[in-house]
């Protein structure tokens, strides 16, 4: 791989840390700013919604920009956003800074994917994208646990200052190693592909993605208070347990991708069922320390086992020029699920059975995704049978 691809990984790492590290610092943020845990959880919802709306807004404003220039500008937005988070005097200022930061997320992965594939030969394009997205995985395994420890030891603001420093480093690395390019209108390239959303199987895939990740984030958003207040772990132990969760992400991502290469639709259905079961198991496992750690690893593996199959489902059904647009919509679907999941978990705490009931309620949502996937399979078979050989 050209070193420029790894330069993009640096930016992906920083974005991954700033998106997910807040989950391990909900108690610190809520105590410092004088808000409830559920209100602190909405900082995740705000970020995810910013990702959903950021892509079309920035896409229209920067359609003619050279991609390298745009990537560098996004890192500036990312850095300023994290500095604003670190200096935020109150809850709503922090919320606004989180949304500003999320706009960089929305465009970075779309533009970065196009840059990465343009740097390598035809038979290495998917690998280039995978290398860039490795930054997200490493962020969950190393960046988030370290950021959680840093925030618990020196205050949550120190974590956002550290992430801002990552943004400065990513800006410099991209400036040095990503080659210059000509201005290209992304809207002109993708505008003719809007018809992709009229394809039923693409819409099924987007709906499944949203539902699956509502369940994931309803459970994962409040994992720190669950571990400390129900399971009985110390604050310091949360970082190590998040490392276990990150290991599960790697295993699930690799296994889900390999299986999807051979049995795409069966893997989608099977991974959704595994996610549902793992969340139900978590409901009981959180009352025992050993069982909780094991269940969290399984939860991480089952959650990320859905990512590659769901992305491949949408891409395979989009076909042709619509694949780029379908891919971006599916990324938005993941983040819409994140936002709704964080809200659902907060609602369970404030108006439902409370912190201890989050996991079994979260499990009901991917169970719905599982049912939608079965319906999509049925429709697919009927359409295929009706078509002439």
Task: Quick: pLDDT tens for 84-94.
Answer: 999 999 999 99
Mind listing the pLDDT tens digit for each residue in 5-28? 888 888 989 998 988 888 788 889
pLDDT band at 192 (very low <50, low <70, confident <90, very high): very low
Query: What range defines the domain where residue 365 resides?
Result: 190-389
105 and 146 within one domain = yes
> How many domains is the chain partitioned into structurally?
2
pLDDT band at 59 (very low <50, low <70, confident <90, very high): low
Reduced to 3 states (helix: H, G, I; strand: E, B; else coil), residue 79 is helix
283 and 228 within one domain = yes
319 and 219 within one domain = yes
377 and 306 within one domain = yes
Least confident of 126-140, 175-189, 232-246, 271-285: 175-189
Cα–Cα distance for residue pair 181/112, rounded to 1 Å: 13
Nearest CA among 279, 271, 223, 280 for reference residue 251: 271
pLDDT value, residue 122? 65
Cα–Cα distance for residue pair 75/170, rounded to 1 Å: 7
Say what the pTM is.
0.76
What sign does the CA torsion over 310, 144, 52, 366 have? positive
126 and 12 within one domain = yes
pLDDT band at 189 (very low <50, low <70, confident <90, very high): very low
Give the CATH number, domain containing residue 200. Answer: 1.20.1250.20
The DSSP output letter for 221 is T
Q: How far is CA 15 from CA 58, 128, 244, 305, in A?
A: 17, 18, 21, 21
| Residue ending a domain, choose from 146, 169, 184 | 184
152 and 62 within one domain = yes
147 and 271 within one domain = no
Classify the phi-psi angles of 233: left when phi > 0, otherwise alpha if psi is within -120 to 50, otherwise beta.
beta
- What is the percentage of the chain residues whose pLDDT exceeds 90? 34
136 and 5 within one domain = yes
- Let me know: does 100 contact 81? Beta carbons within 8 Å: yes
φ and ψ of 183, to 5 deg: -65, 135
pLDDT value, residue 316? 76
| Residue ending a domain, choose from 184, 211, 243 | 184
4 and 97 within one domain = yes
More confident residue, 48 or 302: 302
207 and 108 within one domain = no
138 and 265 within one domain = no
Tokens 């995985």: give the residue. Answer: 137
């Amino acid at each position: 791989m050209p070193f420029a691809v790894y330069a993009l990984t640096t930016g992906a790492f920083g974005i991954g840390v700033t998106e997910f590290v807040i989950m391990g610092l909900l108690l610190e943020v809520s105590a410092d700013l004088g808000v409830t845990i559920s209100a602190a959880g909405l900082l995740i919802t705000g970020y995810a919604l910013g990702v959903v709306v950021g892509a079309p807004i920035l896409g229209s404003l920067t359609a003619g920009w050279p991609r390298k220039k745009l990537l560098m500008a996004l890192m500036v937005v990312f850095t300023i956003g994290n500095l604003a988070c670190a200096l935020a005097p109150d809850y709503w200022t922090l919320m606004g800074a989180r949304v500003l930061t999320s706009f960089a997320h929305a465009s970075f992965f779309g533009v970065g994917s196009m840059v990465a594939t343009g740097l390598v030969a035809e038979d290495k394009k998917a690998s280039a994208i995978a290398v860039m997205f490795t930054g997200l995985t490493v962020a969950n395994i190393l960046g988030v646990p370290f950021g959680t420890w840093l925030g618990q030891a020196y205050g949550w603001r120190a974590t956002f200052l550290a992430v801002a420093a990552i943004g400065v480093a990513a800006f410099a690395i991209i400036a040095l190693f990503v080659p210059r390019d000509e201005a290209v209108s992304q809207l002109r390239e993708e505008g003719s592909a809007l018809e992709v959303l009229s394809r039923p199987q693409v819409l099924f895939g987007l709906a499944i993605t949203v539902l699956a990740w509502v369940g994931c984030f309803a459970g994962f958003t409040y994992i720190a208070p669950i571990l400390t207040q129900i399971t009985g772990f110390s604050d310091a132990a949360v970082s190590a347990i998040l490392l276990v969760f990150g290991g599960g992400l790697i295993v699930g991502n690799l296994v889900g991708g390999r299986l999807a290469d051979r049995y795409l639709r069966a893997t989608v259905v099977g991974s959704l069922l595994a996610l549902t079961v793992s969340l139900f198991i978590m409901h009981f496992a959180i009352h025992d320390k050993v069982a909780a750690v094991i269940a969290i690893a399984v939860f991480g593996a089952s959650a990320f086992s859905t990512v590659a199959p769901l992305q491949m489902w949408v891409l395979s059904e989009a076909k042709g020029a619509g694949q780029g647009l379908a891919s971006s919509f599916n990324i938005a679907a993941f983040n819409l699920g994140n936002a709704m999941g964080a809200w659902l978990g907060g609602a369970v705490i404030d108006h439902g059975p409370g912190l201890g009931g989050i996991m079994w309620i979260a499990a009901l949502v991917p169970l719905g995704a599982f049912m939608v996937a079965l319906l999509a399979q049925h429709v697919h078979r009927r359409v295929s049978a009706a078509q002439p050989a």
